[in-house]
A and B are shown apart, each in its own frame.
Chain A
């Protein structure tokens, strides 16, 4: 299982309905993107961090390991805003207001990423996917997504074991050997995926498979109190941003 999904399964909010967590987590993301980066995104960032480490109980180290991935992309992307092409300063020169734009972009992306991480760290995919049918996603697409999700872990595990076996047979000692091993790895993953699909099909056919995959979902109800509190928090953040915007800029 992937670390974020594993953490979601053992989360304090695991039993909460995905709608509750979507309103809070994705609501924070929407605010981060749509409010002025300063002070809006900064407020969202602090709030998301407090909720993640406080009530949601996400372990710090796990959060950092997941967060540093998008953070790396954000920093790389923001660096390009520091320079400009052409103009009086030469072919490539430092852009006027570049650091401010880069800083604002960093604030926005890092706050938005934390909002999504709040949702991802508290909502296992297996709780979310079957409920997408009620949100209007066609059932066959949800079924394909469910099979993809479940099969991904098996395949990732297979890939890890194949890579270990290749290394044990000196499959990564030279560049040529590494390429050969990588090609073999990709082809074996394909063959294993289709072999598993065929065996799953045979097993399901024996159990009267009619084209729909029915899965049991843990009972959960949308909490009016939780959702209302989340909405109140989002409104408060919006109001606070507009109140603080003028004095702080």
Chain B
């Protein structure tokens, strides 16, 4: 769920932009360094951005019978790491605002914070934690996608509750209001996105080992297994 253009008051829009800036700047610096050292990475990163954009355009069957689209933040964070996702997510959100009229330019900072920063970092943290304790890959992938999706919506609820506190019960009441609306629709969607991400990852492990190794996903698998073995010894 993108926050629509003009939805946030100016002060909130600016504040979320300021909050997102350090993460995006960090991502831009690491991306610039990567591209300067390996010029061919431009194309790979561009392909990753296009994949993220297309992933967010896939229609996901919802439990309620309607359909929605995945955020792609969990899969993106596992494949490309959260700093790269901050930049790729910002580019994707900019494209969505200008090409699809989803989200907006004044709310770009808030959307970047929830979708390109909070979601990927939450999902990636869960993924790394579970892999460290040798939880099976697909369980870790499902959990990462589920948490990334849900945390994106939780942050969006906080952003909306801060901007529109409830007249009767203030911030907490508004958080409950927005949170319960999202909970009805988003918990099933987060489960759906988790399942979809597992299906995608399972096919990728079978057919694209080269790319996954190049991205460090399978190497990270080996490393975390070695670390766990060392700990048990």
Contact = CB atoms under 8 A, between A and B. Distances in A.
A73 B2 contact: yes
B166 interface: yes
A234 interface: no
Interface stretch (A53-61, A207-215, A218-226): A207-215
Contacts of A81: 164
Interface residues of B, number: 72
Task: Name the prevailing secondary structure of the A interface residues.
Answer: helix
- Which of B42, B51, B92, B211: most chain A CB closer than 10 A? B42
Interface stretch (B115-123, B147-155, B173-181): B173-181
Task: Name the prevailing secondary structure of the B interface residues.
Answer: helix
B91 A148 contact: yes
B184 interface: no
A120 B98 contact: yes
Contact of B35 (A77, A87, A111, A140): A140
A193 B50 contact: yes
Given A5-B99, A86-B166, A116-B5, A190 B35 contact: no
B49 interface: yes
Interface residues of A, number: 85
A211 B101 contact: no
B230 interface: no
Interface of A: 2, 4-5, 26, 29-30, 32-34, 66-67, 69-70, 73-74, 77, 80-81, 83-87, 93, 95-98, 101, 105, 108-113, 115-117, 119-120, 125, 138, 140-141, 143-152, 154-156, 159, 175, 178-180, 182-187, 189-191, 193-194, 196-198, 200-201, 204-205, 209-211, 213
Contacts of B87: 141, 144
A150 B102 CA distance: 19
- Which of A120, A141, A156: most chain B CB closer than 10 A? A141
10 contacts: A69-B102, A85-B176, A101-B164, A110-B6, A144-B31, A151-B49, A175-B61, A186-B196, A186-B199, A211-B36
A150 B5 CA distance: 25
Interface stretch (B15-23, B128-136, B201-209): B201-209
- Which of B104, B174, B178: most chain A CB closer than 10 A? B104
A4 B101 contact: yes
A186 B55 contact: yes
A149 B57 CA distance: 14
B124 interface: no
Interface of B: 1-2, 4-7, 9-10, 13, 28, 31-32, 35-36, 39-40, 42-51, 53-55, 57-58, 60-61, 75, 87-88, 91-92, 94-95, 97-102, 104-106, 160, 164, 166-169, 173-174, 176-178, 181, 195-196, 198-200, 202-204, 207-208, 211
Given A4-B101, A109-B7, A200-B43, 18 more contacts: A2-B100, A26-B105, A80-B160, A81-B164, A85-B169, A96-B167, A145-B91, A145-B94, A152-B49, A156-B54, A182-B60, A182-B196, A187-B203, A189-B54, A190-B51, A193-B48, A197-B44, A209-B40
